[in-house]
Structure 1
Amino acid sequence: MKLVAVSAGLGRPSSTRLLADRLVQAARARLEETQPVEVRVIELRDLATDIAHALVTGFPNARLREAVDAVTGADGLIAVTPVFTASYSGLFKSFVDVLEPDALTGTPVLVAATGGTARHSLVLEHAMRPLFAYLRAVVVPTAVYAASEDWGGGDTSTEGLAGRIERAGGELAGLMTGQAAARRRPAGPADEVAAVMPFEEQLAALRP
């Protein structure tokens, strides 16, 4: 099982990377209850020049191609961006623009963001979720936003940062295990029939 996180944080240390690590830990803990997990965190800060060159030339170099392959080959993806000008960062969007339009079809994705104030939390619903819906990814119900005041750790309720991280990680793990099972299911006679039977006949066959 492959779990990949993409962090678009620019600083070091970065609250965006910290949130990505916390989400990875939450999802990994749930996944490892049933199977081994291979985890990778991709820092877009280190690929900024490679991404710019790929957008200009249309050809990603070997280092960027390897990162893209890791993202598109993941069983589950965690995408975390800082909020810039009320939306995801330009670096984050530029990386997404390098991906093929159908590369994330059906992939479970957990979206998250960091910002200086809670007022920017709607970026998750008005920018991040529509972006991955356009890419036909399967976005988990709980998106996680962390404002500066959330890192104090005082709120231990289910709606505090720690509670939201655990809930989102569990949702991602649930989708990943279902997705992996679907990918491993061998094709059977029913699949062959569906491939050649017109849609109307398939519906008729389902009726009692």
Structure 2
Amino acid sequence: MKPHQITVVVGNVSERSRTKVLAQAIGDALATALPVQLTVLEIAHLTSVIGVTSNPQDLDLTGRLALQAIANADLVVAVSPVYKGSYSGLFKHLFDLVPPDALVDRPVLLAANGGSDRHALVVDHQLRPLFSFFRALTVPSAVYASEADFDGYLLKDGPLRKRIGEAAAQAAGLLSARRAVKPPLRAVA
């Protein structure tokens, strides 16, 4: 069976981050559930590329390949840190460069992490509406991690791991269902 192409977008602007740890745990759970080929896009590595343009045609090769990885993915995993009650600005800017029809009927697994549980609603109040604009199929279970779910930069065992497994299983179900549908839904849209 051909592996599913999964693009993981890590919305943190620093190299070392809990967001990256969370994204890796989700990628590992997906790889356990089904055959996958992961492409990881880190905002920390794309800042100088995407931060200087508002027109996708002005992007260099790295920027164009990042957009292509998002547009060609069978599943997008969108993971952002929470800054002042919302996703990071450069994370949003990257998706501002994605064509409006690129994610129609595409499964998207949503995840975020913040300093406390007070920010948990960012997934439903910020990320879901963003991907609703794209007419994407957001996975019903999202993942939110607070600082209490980490020991430094290591993910603790506990309820968060269960939520990651649940979201990965739902994403795997959506991917399997999409493979069974001929032609793909987005080709019809």
Give TM-score, length-normalised by structure 2: 0.88
| Corresponding residue to 2:21 among 18, 36, 41 | 18
Q: What's 2:9 paired with? A: 6
Matched, 1:149 2:152: no
How far apart are 1:54 and its partner, in Å?
Answer: 2.6
Structure 1 residues 115 and 80: alpha-carbon distance in aligned structure 2, compared to 1, 3 A threshold: same
How far apart are 1:57 and its partner, in Å?
Answer: 7.7
Q: Give the Cα separation in 2 of the matches to 1:182 and 1:61.
A: 35
**What does 1:1-208 align with in structure 2 at a 5 Å threshold?**
1-32=4-35, 37-55=36-54, 59-152=58-151, 156=158, 160-183=159-182
Deviations 1:73-123, CA, capped at 9 Å, x for gaps: 000110000101100110110000000011100110000001111100100
* Unmatched runs of 5 consecutive residues or more in structure 2: 185-189
Structure 1 residues 97 and 118: alpha-carbon distance in aligned structure 2, compared to 1, 3 A threshold: same
How far apart are 1:2 and its partner, in Å?
Answer: 0.5
Structure 1 residues 26 and 53: alpha-carbon distance in aligned structure 2, compared to 1, 3 A threshold: same
Q: Give the Cα separation in 1 of the matches to 2:143 and 2:95.
A: 19
> For the Cα contact (< 8 Å) 1:54–1:61, is it kept in 2?
no
Q: Count how many residue pairs are aligned between Structure 1 and Structure 2.
A: 178
How far apart are 1:11 and its partner, in Å?
Answer: 2.4
Q: What's 1:203 paired with? A: none
Q: Give the Cα separation in 2 of the matches to 1:155 and 1:42.
A: 26
Q: Give the Cα separation in 2 of the matches to 1:132 and 1:46.
A: 23
Structure richer in helix, relative to its length: 1
Structure 1 residues 63 and 154: alpha-carbon distance in aligned structure 2, compared to 1, 3 A threshold: closer
Answer with 127-136 or 56-65: which moved more: 56-65
Give TM-score, length-normalised by structure 1: 0.80
Q: Which has the larger radius of gyration?
A: 1
What SS does structure 1 have at the residue aligned with 2:76? strand
Q: What's 2:187 paired with? A: none
Deviations 1:154-203, CA, capped at 9 Å, x for gaps: 663xxx10100000011111111211332567xxxxxxxxxxxxxxxxxx
> For the Cα contact (< 8 Å) 1:75–1:180, is it kept in 2?
no
Structure 1 residues 29 and 114: alpha-carbon distance in aligned structure 2, compared to 1, 3 A threshold: same
* Unmatched runs of 5 consecutive residues or more in structure 1: 186-208
